[in-house]
């Protein structure tokens, strides 16, 4: 049976046919329409195209709160879905059985099954992009919580009365440990002439009017002290949060994904240091290691398809 994965992003919708080993054997990609109806139509057309007349199942991954039955989108931050029966609408349009999944859960499942968490049983993934996405696998099962919306790790409170988060609370990990947070820290360092290390960042800001993430990455690679300091602040926030998460979940590994993860060990080294400082009884117990995600932009498609196969396809 063919397994199709769809990953709905803010700017693009990616799709693919995924084989049982996690390889994408056929791909599709379109720009994300502006309207809800347009997104629904494009996703349905993509599923039909990739199914290609064969018996198929499909997984659809999107940012948002998904119910426990993997059918209804309670809330999506970037699309006007509120209690949206997305599964039923797509099934009616395509005739294909579908599961709907949170995008971070889909990516985390892919990394657990085929990527940096392969051959382990307990894995936590943090995706450091515009925000911070989270996924938790416990004893080989994806954790969803009592209402289906568990593992929103980006909204663990890190700093009481800290910066305001898009969720309406203050001090969430997302506003200290994301790609957007990295840009915030870079801008702060560039503004603070007294800090003495922001010249490279200021030069970028003066030229472009802002400091894009790719420019921060370039400066980090060039060992620019301001960019390295900005990254150190973000890595410290994530590592500190991981110390608390490990006290509750005790994973074997933290997998770090998203655009910021491409900085590799420059990111992971201070993250490990902060984790060691925050982890209770560190040095007297086994603790998780850290690894960069391996599947990058394909993780959502692969995870969505594999979860659909697991939930809907006949098992041998």
**What digits encode the pLDDT tens for the residues 215-234?**
999 999 999 999 999 999 99
Rounded to whole angstroms, the Cα distance separating 94 from 166 reads 34
CA-based nearest residue to 249, from 139, 147, 155, 157: 139
118 — pLDDT class (breaks 50, 70, 90): very high
The CATH topology of domain 2-109+297-312 is: Nucleotidyltransferase; domain 5 (3.30.420)
- With beta carbons less than 8 A apart as the criterion, state whether 305 and 3 touch: yes
Q: Which 3 state secondary structure label does DSSP give 249?
A: helix
Mean pLDDT, to the nearest integer, of 51-67? 95
pTM above 0.75, yes or no: yes
pLDDT of 139? 97
Is pLDDT above 80 for 193? Answer: no
Mean residue pLDDT of the chain comes to 95
In the β-sheet with 12-18, what is the strand arrangement from edge to edge?
24-31, 12-18, 2-8, 56-62, 97-102
Share of the chain above pLDDT 90, in %: 90
Helix axes 179-191, 225-249, angle to 10 degrees: 140
Can you tell me the distance from the alpha carbon of 242 to that of 204, in angstroms, rounded to the nearest whole number?
32
Secondary structure element (H or E) that encloses residue 273, with its range: helix 265-278
pLDDT at residue 119 is higher than 70: yes
Q: Write down the pLDDT at residue 196.
A: 81
Q: Is the pLDDT of residue 316 over 70?
A: no
Please check the confidence at residue 314 and state whether its pLDDT lies above 80. Answer: no
**Tell me: the pLDDT tens digits for 228-287?**
999 999 999 999 999 999 999 999 999 999 989 999 999 999 999 999 999 989 989 999
- In the sheet with 253-257, reading across from the earlier edge strand, the strands are 141-142, 132-138, 123-128, 253-257, 289-292
Per-residue pLDDT at 195: 65
The CATH number corresponding to 119-293 among 3.30.70.3000, 3.30.420.40, 3.40.50.10540, 2.120.10.80 equals: 3.30.420.40
In the chain, CATH 3.30.420.40 covers 2-109+297-312, 119-293
């Amino acid at each position: 049976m063919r397994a199709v994965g769809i990953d709905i992003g803010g700017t693009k919708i990616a799709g693919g046919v995924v084989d049982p080993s996690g390889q994408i054997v056929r791909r599709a990609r379109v720009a994300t329409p502006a309207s809800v109806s347009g997104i629904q139509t494009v996703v349905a057309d993509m599923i039909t195209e990739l199914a290609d007349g064969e018996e198929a199942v499909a997984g659809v991954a999107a940012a948002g709160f998904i119910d426990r039955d993997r059918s209804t989108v309670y809330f999506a931050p970037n699309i006007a879905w509120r209690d949206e029966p997305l599964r039923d609408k797509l099934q009616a349009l395509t005739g294909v059985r579908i599961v709907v999944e949170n995008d971070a859960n889909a990516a985390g499942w892919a990394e657990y099954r085929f990527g940096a968490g392969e051959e382990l049983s307990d894995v936590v993934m943090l995706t450091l992009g515009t925000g911070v996405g989270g996924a938790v696998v416990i004893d080989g099962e994806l954790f969803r919580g009592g209402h289906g919306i568990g593992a929103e790790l980006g909204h663990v409170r890190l700093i009481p009365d800290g910066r305001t988060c898009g969720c309406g609370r203050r001090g969430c990990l997302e506003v200290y440990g994301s790609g957007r947070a990295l840009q915030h820290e870079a801008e702060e360092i560039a503004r603070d002439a007294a800090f003495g290390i922001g010249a490279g960042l200021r030069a970028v800001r003066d030229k472009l009017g802002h400091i894009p993430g790719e420019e921060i990455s370039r400066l980090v690679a060039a060992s620019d002290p301001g960019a390295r300091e900005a990254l150190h602040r973000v890595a410290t926030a994530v590592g500190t949060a991981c110390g608390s998460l490990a006290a509750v979940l005790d994973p074997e590994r933290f997998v770090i994904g998203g655009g910021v993860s491409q900085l590799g060990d420059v990111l992971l080294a201070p993250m490990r240091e902060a984790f060691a400082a925050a982890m209770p009884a560190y040095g007297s117990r086994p603790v998780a290691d850290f690894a960069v995600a391996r599947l990058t932009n394909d993780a959502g498609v692969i995870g969505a398809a594999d979860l659909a196969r697991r939930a809907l396809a006949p098992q041998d």
